[in-house]
Amino acid sequence: MKIVQALNGHTETQKPIWIMRQAGRYLPEYRALRKKTANFMHFCLNQEMVVEATLQPIVRFDFDAAIIFSDILVIPHFLGQNVHFKEGVGPILEHANWQELLQTPIHEDIHIIYESIKNVRRELDSQKALIGFVGCPWTIASYMISEGKTNNFEGLVALAKTWPLFDRLMEKLIAVISDHAVRQLKSGANVVQLFESWAAAVPVELQQKWLFEPTEQIIHQIQKQVPGASIIYYGKGIAQEAINNLQHLGVGFGVSQDTGLSTLKNTSVCLQGNLDPQKLLDGNFKGDVLNILEFSKDRPFIVNLGHGILPETPVSHVEEFIDLVRSQQ
Ligand code: CP3
């Protein structure tokens, strides 16, 4: 599997490619499938639909990896905090009973996700990697305590600083997220990606405590229970700091579009990224893709976007992106 090889440091000229949120609303076949269930969480927990959604982008584009169709917010959901997705608004998390939530183990129905992983792995070409994923504690806690209103970074940090049970919530999340990652790998996922989507909200003086220490604990747990596991850490907006703090763990790093790859030229870790999703949508991406490929020469590298694909992106642009990557190698 090309992605696993890249994460192990191989520098083959054919760089693997997949894209974040590759199963999603830009695909007409996804929109058709999605119409069958109003409730997004029910969709994520319907095994047949999950297998189909996961494989849709592979059937259409022949990507080098599938990512299991799920969401990072299954964790609050199975901890007992109801999660809804409102069209045009995003996730809304209900007010939780925190004392109870902190004392209750995660609901065992989460195993549905592991069953879906087993089913996808059975149907997926053996050359293609299946990627499992989790959200990191800070990002998940952000959604939980703000009840979904994560966009105001200053408000979020102020809320976290004053939240009486914040440290206990982070402890609990470290444990359940580690377990979720391990169980995905043990069910057949070949790689696990850790999403820290709200990393940029965290002030520098709190990065250790809120981002890197919890993530390091999770990575240790994964490596202890699944020796040699392939892991990608995606810290949106903080690639350089993430590499400085976590590279000793032997993981790969997702790079978002706000970080110029040339600023990372001295690192030897496997990088992943970082085409701007807006450029893919607009169609003016050729120069950037050529720069990414030029940078990736003689390095372990996974071609991807810098963040999730935007729902309005024309399918033809995705085809052109993949053709361009494959024609240059
Ligand atoms: O194809 C894939 O990448 C696999 C599936 C996947 C989804 N969410 C499906 C989804 C993955 C990897 C995620 C991760 C995720 N979810 C993240 C981390 C990545 C990132 O974008 O930073 C975050 C922050 C979430 C939380 C989340 N889920 C939000 C903010 C939203 C609403 C915004 C939106 O894109 O609609 C979701 C819903 C969601 N998750 C959709 C999909 C396909 C759209 C829901 C729909 O179809 O109605």
The pLDDT tens digits for 61-115 are 999 999 999 999 999 999 999 999 988 888 999 999 999 999 999 999 999 999 9
Per-residue confidence (pLDDT) for residue 87, from 0 to 100: 83
Q: Name which of 270, 193, 195 is nearest 229 in CA terms.
A: 193
pLDDT, tens only, 260-288: 999 999 999 999 999 999 999 999 999 99
Query: pTM (2 decimals)?
Result: 0.97
Helices (H), 92-211: 98-103, 111-123, 137-146, 153-162, 166-186
- By the 8 A CB rule, do 143 and 91 touch? yes
Q: Is the pLDDT of residue 329 over 80?
A: no
Share of the chain above pLDDT 70, in %: 100
DSSP assignment of 242-292: HHHHHGGG--EEE--TTS-GGGGTT--S-EEEEE-HHHHHHT--HHHHHHH
Q: Which residues line ligand 1 (CB under 6 A)?
A: 20-25, 34, 40, 67, 69-73, 85, 90-91, 133, 195, 197, 308
Query: CA-to-CA distance for 69 and 222, rounded, in angstroms?
Result: 21
- Name the closest-CA residue to atom 17, ligand 1: 72
Structure tokens at 258: 């706000």
Pocket of ligand 1, candidates 72, 113, 136, 310: which has the most ligand atoms within 8 Å of its Cβ, to mutate?
72
DSSP label of 197:
T
- Structural contact between residues 75 and 173, judged by C-beta atoms closer than 8 angstroms: yes
**12 C-alpha to ligand 1 centroid (Å):** 31
What burial class does residue 98 get, using C-beta atoms within 10 Å of its C-beta: 0-12 exposed, 13-18 middle, 19+ buried?
Answer: middle
CA of 112 to the centre of ligand 1 (A): 18
Distance, in Å, from the CA atom of 209 to the CA atom of 202, rounded to the nearest integer, reads 10
> Which atom of ligand 1 lies closest to the CA of 70?
5
From the alpha carbon of 44, which atom of ligand 1 is closest? 9
Say if residue 245's pLDDT is above 90. yes
11: buried, middle or exposed (CB in 10 Å: 19+, 13-18, 0-12)? Answer: middle
